[in-house]
Structure 1
Amino acid sequence: MRRFDSIDSGRENPEGFDYRTWATDFKSRLAELLNTWLGRVGYAAGLLLRSLRDKAAQWWYFLDDPSIPPDNNLAERSLRLAVTKRKVSGGSRSMPRFEQTADLLSAIQTCRFQEKSAMAFFRDAIFAHTCNFSMPSLIP
């Protein structure tokens, strides 16, 4: 078993004493290392180390709240459709068109994330608009 398998299972079961102990120990060892190295490194590395020290609560927040993933892969996957569309089409020529495209792609990605049909959502939205009904919502 890899070392991080137990850490991952601890994140899934936050009641586990081992995970909390590990997270607390990690943060204290990191703070100690940062303080040790701050006086020994150059300017650029010192900026990074000071940022890690001064903003430790922000950098390592996911260790305290297991519902927060340690990466931003979901956000990156959500942006992939918009980036691919922009590369293929050459982007929008005006700000209003850019905003409309962003709204459409946001609705499509939200439907995908909620495992709903984007086509059904747009069909319902067009029907509601033409018949003066209340618009469908993507807010669960």
Structure 2
Amino acid sequence: MTHPEIPPDNNRAERSLRLTVTKRKVGGGSRSMAGFAQTARWLSVIQTCRAQGRSVITFLKQALMAAAAPEKVSMPSLVPG
């Protein structure tokens, strides 16, 4: 209530978590903390690309090209700006 720029509901946050919850229910969760962390990173990339209206496949392709040839291609960023 003290910050009118923030909507009173958290519907966007709930929609962002939906993919994670569905994956956990279908896949039975992670068997290790490392597996959990890796899954969380991938889902974060996917949801961030979707929220920004970017293609996940294009982002991953750019990231792989940058990892393979860092002197030629700069690593793409998910930070807007």
TM-score by length of 1: 0.53
Given the alignment of the two structures, is residue 94 of structure 1 paired with residue 37 of structure 2, yes or no?
no
Percent identity of equivalent pairs: 62
Distance 1:89 1:139 in 2: 29
Match of 2:41 in 1: 103
**Partner letter of residue 106 of structure 1?**
S
CA RMSD of aligned residues (A): 1.0
Output the amino acid matched with 2:77.
S
- State how 1:5-24 maps to structure 2 within 5 Å: none
Q: Distance in 1 between matches of 2:27 and 2:3?
A: 40
Aligned counterpart, 2:2: 64
Relative contact order (alpha carbons < 8 A, sep ≥ 6): 1 or 2 greater? 2
- The corresponding residue for 1:138 is 78
Bigger proportion of residues as helix = 1
Once the two structures are TM-superposed, the CA of residue 97 in structure 1 deviates from its matched residue by 1.1
Deviation of 1:65 (Å)? 2.4
Alpha-carbon distance in 2 for matches of 1:64, 1:107? 31
SS state at 1:108 partner: helix
Provide structure 2 residue ranges, at least 5 long, that are not aligned to the other structure: none
| Residue 49 of structure 2 corresponds to residue 124 of structure 1 | no
Corresponding residue SS for 2:77? coil
In the TM superposition, residue 94 of structure 1 has moved relative to its aligned partner by 1.0
CA distance in 2, matches of 1:95, 1:134: 30
Flag as ranges the 4+ runs of structure 1 deviating above 4 A.
Answer: none
CA offsets, 1:82-112, max 9 Å, x none?
0000111111111111101100000100000
